[in-house]
A = this chain, B = another copy of it.
């Protein structure tokens, strides 16, 4: 069993050996560029860890792992155009550094390269099964992005709808990565399904935690500006929960803040936090997160391999979900 840093090293070496073509440079340079902006490589690492539950020759799963990372980066390029985002991890996004035409076309070819690496992921029967999982998840990610776009202009988003959106937009890809690791290792259908559900539920828990940390995170540990969601009037789970359980007066007050700009930001963050606090929102959201987290680990437990093989994977996901507020 390899450690996470060891697996990340393997991924980095694989990336270095499998760069994009040089020509036409206008098409491929942006693909290489987005991959230099960092990122935790959590999806390919999960795929490799899913594989390692069953087999030791983890190099065999590297093409599939890289495929998932390329898919993720394709979605970042196109999402950044759709969100008109100027920066990603403090650097210019592809369509900002180049232009929208370049962003569309480089994203397209990156998606196609994801399928090229998928095609190199094993014997035809394994590739065919990987292709089915990949296609299903890729479709769902597009559907999730569409729901996210739709929600921006809707005032009546329910909590189940919101959970479904984050599930499709981000969590199914984490589940899919683990499922693909199991498929590469030719694990049983039952184990493959448990791996998918482990990743899907952990992914939802992670997204819920992300909403919570945006307002309640430790400024030293949280990468982004604490309170950013409040200033951007984002309809996070905290907002939706307040609109569900809050007093009439607090709901009205929150709605008023949601239509103000970024003037007096500290005052706005403090006022909205007060509304959350007096309605017990942090504890309710934490409980929502815990439900998905518990469900996730129930599925990891059900995978039919000795407990000691699960240690590394359990640790990584506990580290991700353990950043308690």
Residue positions of A touching B, CB distance < 8 A: 23-24, 26-27, 78, 81-82, 100-101, 104-105, 107-109, 111-113, 115-116, 118-119, 124-125, 127-128, 131-132, 134-135, 138-139, 142-143, 145-147, 149-150
Contact = CB atoms under 8 A, between A and B. Distances in A.
Given A101-B82, A127-B128, A109 B147 contact: no
A142 B82 contact: no
Chain copies in the assembled complex: 2
A135 B134 CA distance: 15
Given A115-B131, A135-B116, A101 B142 contact: no
Given A26-B146, A146-B26, A146-B105, A119 B128 contact: yes
A198 to B, nearest CB: 24
A24 to B, nearest CB: 5
A169 to B, nearest CB: 12
A146 B99 CA distance: 13
Contacts of A138: 112, 115
B109 A135 contact: no
B108 A150 contact: no
A44 B111 CA distance: 23
Contact of A119 (B108, B131, B143): B131
Given A100-B100, A135-B112, A139-B112, A24 B146 contact: yes
Given A105-B146, A108-B142, A119-B132, 14 more contacts: A23-B143, A24-B147, A26-B149, A26-B150, A27-B143, A78-B104, A81-B104, A105-B145, A108-B111, A119-B128, A119-B131, A124-B124, A124-B127, A127-B131
A86 B146 CA distance: 23
A81 B111 CA distance: 18
Contacts of A145: 105
A105 B78 contact: yes
Nearest to A120: B132
A111 B78 CA distance: 14
Contact of A105 (B24, B115, B116, B142): B142
